[in-house]
Amino acid sequence: MHKSLLVTAGVIGLAFLMTTAVWSADQHDSAVDLGRSATDEEIRAWDIDVAPDGQGLPPGHGTVAQGAQIYAMRCAGCHGPTGREGPQNVLVGGHKSLQTVKPLKTIGSYWPYATTVYDYLRRAMPANAPQSLTPNELYALVAWLLYQNGIIAENVELDHDSLPRVEMPNRNGFRLDPRPDVR
Amino acid sequence: MSRNTGDEKKTSNHVPRSALPTRRQFLTSGVSLLAMSASSTLFGAQDEETRAPIDPMRVPGLSPRPYGERSRFERQTRLVAGTFSTTPLQDLQGIMTPSALHFERHHNGVPTIDPTRHRLLIHGLIDRPMVFTVEELMRFPSTSRLAFLECSGNSRDGWGEAQDVTVQALHGLTSTSEWTGVKLSTLLDKVQKQRDATWMLAEGGDAAGLARSVPLTDDVLNNAIVCYGQNGEALRPEQGYPLRLLLPGFEGNINVKWLRRLKLGSAPFMTRWETATYTDLMPDGTAYQFSLVMDAKSVITKPSGQQQLQPGFYEIQGLAWSGRGRITSVEVTSDAGRTWQEARLQEPVLPTCHTRFRLPWRWDGRETIIQSRCTDETGYRQPTRDALINVRGVRSIYHYNAIQSWKIQRNGFVSNIYA
């Protein structure tokens, strides 16, 4: 009798100790004193993404005409004189081609947000010198690409205010993953 | 079947007496001879072509070396094509992929990153924006697990005409490794994630600055790892050295490599890689977006495309995997789908990992078609190509996971067909 009581007490005690051990391991995970606070300056330097609502767009502006010059110098070698020729990704055209047997997915026919064009050019283009374009050059390039795709007029100047308000033709062309869709 | 190194001369134990060095020659030559260029007169018993001793028991072997390499008789390699390379699935054993054979895909080259200069920034909808060094992340409590990674563009040739190529060329953008790091949730606790933070931008430090929006679901928060280790050592450069995100079961590219920044927000960030690419175009002109989980897939790797069979016994082997958990069953047909047999799943059988299946088989020399189809723990069964195309058409590029058919011709040659 006494013996079984002792065993019971022991089991309860052990369970308590194990609970405590697990609890302190969890506490330990988030209480580790590692890393340091990021300064505002660091965050500004690294925070290069641009959201569909325009958050992240820097000050600056650019016109279609300025974009044409920059495109010819920095982009045409890979994407062709008008953005239709390649050899790298075709950037212009493909309007209303998505339901056909030969869909042509370009900035004009497929991309849902104009802000994504700015974001992508800023972080990745030109491929041989990424992150070398200034905000004004980027606004101008985006303007030229949108103009070539018939989305904005030739005299439009883009900046952090007007770019997010550009409506892309395929803005509503996407739906959330419905899989499993095949039975 | 794909090797050509096993001819009789090299594997024979029978050595003519005259070819062996005498005891005296052997003693005086000593170990130093090993360092000299191999010469058939000194060693006597070397194979002319391979320069390997005909009887390795009569020649001292090699010294220890600081970083090991496989036997020089092993020739399996990745198949390199443009911006990716594929794993030789037909040559793998078990479920692990050697790090050196793990598939690659990158968007502007593999960056060279000094780990002492690399930083991870976490900011956005959190209370404490923080910067971590790699060394600091390695001092957090660690976690480790096996997981497959598969490019969502794997098997994409399946949407088009049947290509007469190997299983590696068709399906080799998938690999399994052990991944080690710190749980994402540990870091998000540390920086005090805010309640309305439902999405997270993960950004790479490569020359594409590849970035993806990750939905912060319970599944992601429970399973995501910020990794620094792969198969017992540091990540390979092609796999994100010194840091990568691991989201078990999700398409390859969202497991962002060379990870430098996590930004929490309340909506997806709509980067190029979740709008212009990695979205699945349907026949009606709309596209699936954030189709992140890799559905179950299986493929027979032995025998497989471009291999040559002789009538007789073979163990059919292959790999099956699912982003939704464990593989529970693989069925195999060797008579073009008339009958299906349950294959044996080879341990270990782990969630979101390659799982090896096996089935003994005797090829009778007649023309036939072999196929495998798998089921995962959610009850999802791998579809036929017709069923897949019936829903998605042939222009969606990504997430092709239909049943693979191998045709075995009367002459024993194996080729890719649609059946």
Q: What's the rounded Cα separation, in Å, for the pair A182 and B282?
A: 13
Write down the residue that tokens 């300064």 correspond to.
Answer: A39
- Write down the pLDDT at residue B246: 99
What is the three-class DSSP state of A120? Answer: helix
Name which of B275, B378, B403 to mutate to probe chain A: the one with the most chain A Cβ atoms within 10 A of its Cβ.
B275
Q: Is the pLDDT of residue A141 over 90?
A: yes
Handedness of CA B381, B383, B388, B390 (dihedral sign): negative
* Judgement on whether residues B21 and B34 belong to the same structural domain of the protein: yes
Mean per-residue pLDDT, B287-312:
98
* Judgement on whether residues B416 and B313 belong to the same structural domain of the protein: yes
- Write down the pLDDT at residue B22: 43
* Judgement on whether residues B62 and B80 belong to the same structural domain of the protein: no
Of B27, B56, B75, which residue sits at a domain end? Answer: B75
Handedness of CA B342, B88, B149, B94 (dihedral sign): positive
Count Cα atoms within 13 angstroms, Cβ side, for B35.
4
Smallest Cβ–Cβ distance between B270 and the set A43, A52, A98 belongs to A52
Instruction: Please tell me which residue, B415 or A4, carries the higher pLDDT value.
Output: B415
- Write down the pLDDT at residue B45: 78
* Judgement on whether residues B145 and B115 belong to the same structural domain of the protein: yes
- Write down the pLDDT at residue A24: 46
The Cα-based distances of B107 to A127, A178, B6 in angstroms read 9, 27, 39
Residue in A closest to B276 by C-alpha: A111
* Judgement on whether residues B114 and B32 belong to the same structural domain of the protein: no
Q: What is the DSSP letter of A96?
A: T
Q: What phi-psi label fits residue A131: left (phi over 0), alpha (psi between -120 and 50 degrees) or beta?
A: left
- Write down the pLDDT at residue A78: 98
Chain B partners of A173 at a C-beta cutoff of 8 Å? 285-287
Q: Does B183 touch chain A (CB under 8 A)?
A: yes
- Write down the pLDDT at residue A40: 97
CA torsion angle A41 A44 A47 A51 (round to 10) = 150
Smallest Cβ–Cβ distance between B121 and the set A43, A98, A175 belongs to A43
Q: What's the rounded Cα separation, in Å, for the pair A130 and B212?
A: 18
- Write down the pLDDT at residue B267: 98
Weakest mean pLDDT among A2-16, A49-63, B130-144? A2-16
Name which of A27, A41, A46 to mutate to probe chain B: the one with the most chain B Cβ atoms within 10 A of its Cβ.
A46
User: Looking at this predicted complex, what is its ipTM?
Assistant: 0.88
**Mutual orientation of helices A64-74 and A135-148 as an angle, nearest 10°?**
100
Q: What's the rounded Cα separation, in Å, for the pair B176 and B154?
A: 14
Bridge-based pairing state of the strands B297-302 and B312-321:
antiparallel
Q: Is the pLDDT of residue B10 over 60?
A: no
- Write down the pLDDT at residue B186: 97
What percent of chain B is modeled with pLDDT above 70?
Answer: 89
pLDDT tens digits along B174-196? 999 999 999 999 999 999 999 99
Are A124 and B130 an interchain contact pair (Cβ–Cβ within 8 Å)? no
Q: Is the pLDDT of residue B100 over 70?
A: yes
Angle at B201 between CA B198 and CA B207, to 5 degrees: 175
Radius of gyration of chain B (CA): 25
* Judgement on whether residues B25 and B130 belong to the same structural domain of the protein: no
Are A179 and B209 an interchain contact pair (Cβ–Cβ within 8 Å)? no
* Judgement on whether residues B102 and B219 belong to the same structural domain of the protein: yes
What percent of chain A is modeled with pLDDT above 70?
Answer: 83
Number of folded domains in chain B? 2
Q: Does A41 touch chain B (CB under 8 A)?
A: no
Label residue A30 by pLDDT band (50, 70, 90): low
pLDDT tens digits along B362-384? 999 999 999 999 999 999 999 99
Q: Is the pLDDT of residue A160 over 50?
A: yes
Amino acid letter at B46?
Answer: Q
Mean per-residue pLDDT, B227-252:
98
* Judgement on whether residues B55 and B165 belong to the same structural domain of the protein: no
Write down the residue that tokens 């709008």 correspond to.
Answer: B275
- Write down the pLDDT at residue B46: 85
- Write down the pLDDT at residue A33: 86
Mean per-residue pLDDT, B16-41:
43
Amino acid letter at A53?
Answer: D
Mean per-residue pLDDT, B231-241:
98
> Cα–chain-centroid distance for residue B51?
33
Q: Does B290 touch chain A (CB under 8 A)?
A: yes
Are A34 and B140 an interchain contact pair (Cβ–Cβ within 8 Å)? yes
Q: Does B131 touch chain A (CB under 8 A)?
A: yes
Label residue B47 by pLDDT band (50, 70, 90): confident
Of B31, B59, B75, which residue sits at a domain end? Answer: B75
- Nearest chain B CA: its distance from A172 CA (Å): 8
- Put simply, the chain A residues between 104 and 133 with a CB less than 8 A from any chain B CB are 105, 107, 110-113, 115-116, 119-120, 123-124, 127, 130-131
Q: Is the pLDDT of residue A158 over 80?
A: yes
* Judgement on whether residues B173 and B107 belong to the same structural domain of the protein: yes
Are A34 and B292 an interchain contact pair (Cβ–Cβ within 8 Å)? no
Q: Is the pLDDT of residue A7 over 60?
A: no
Instruction: Please tell me which residue, B175 or B29, carries the higher pLDDT value.
Output: B175
Label residue A29 by pLDDT band (50, 70, 90): low
Cis link prior to B242 (omega < 30° from 0)?
A: yes
pLDDT tens digits along A92-125? 999 999 999 999 999 999 999 999 999 999 999 9
Domain spanning A58-165 has what CATH number? 1.10.760.10
Q: Is the pLDDT of residue B15 over 60?
A: no
Label residue B169 by pLDDT band (50, 70, 90): very high
Mean per-residue pLDDT, B225-236:
98
The H or E element containing residue A61 is strand A61-63
Bridge-based pairing state of the strands B259-265 and B119-124:
parallel
What percent of chain B is modeled with pLDDT above 90?
Answer: 88
Q: Is the pLDDT of residue A71 over 50?
A: yes
The enclosing domain of B389 has a CATH number of: 3.90.420.10
Mean per-residue pLDDT, B76-103:
98
- Put simply, the chain A residues between 57 and 96 with a CB less than 8 A from any chain B CB are none
* Judgement on whether residues B51 and B39 belong to the same structural domain of the protein: yes
Q: Does B199 touch chain A (CB under 8 A)?
A: no
Whole-number average pLDDT of chain B: 92
Are B136 and A37 an interchain contact pair (Cβ–Cβ within 8 Å)? no
Are A49 and B201 an interchain contact pair (Cβ–Cβ within 8 Å)? yes
* Judgement on whether residues B334 and B186 belong to the same structural domain of the protein: yes
Q: Is the pLDDT of residue A13 over 90?
A: no
Weakest mean pLDDT among A18-22, A99-103, B104-108, B177-181? A18-22
For residue B55, the enclosing domain spans 1-75
Of B40, B75, B110, which residue sits at a domain end? Answer: B75
Are A105 and B281 an interchain contact pair (Cβ–Cβ within 8 Å)? yes
Write down the residue that tokens 């912060």 correspond to.
Answer: B216
Q: What phi-psi label fits residue A5: left (phi over 0), alpha (psi between -120 and 50 degrees) or beta?
A: alpha
Quote helix, strand, coil % in chain A, to nearest 5: 45, 5, 50
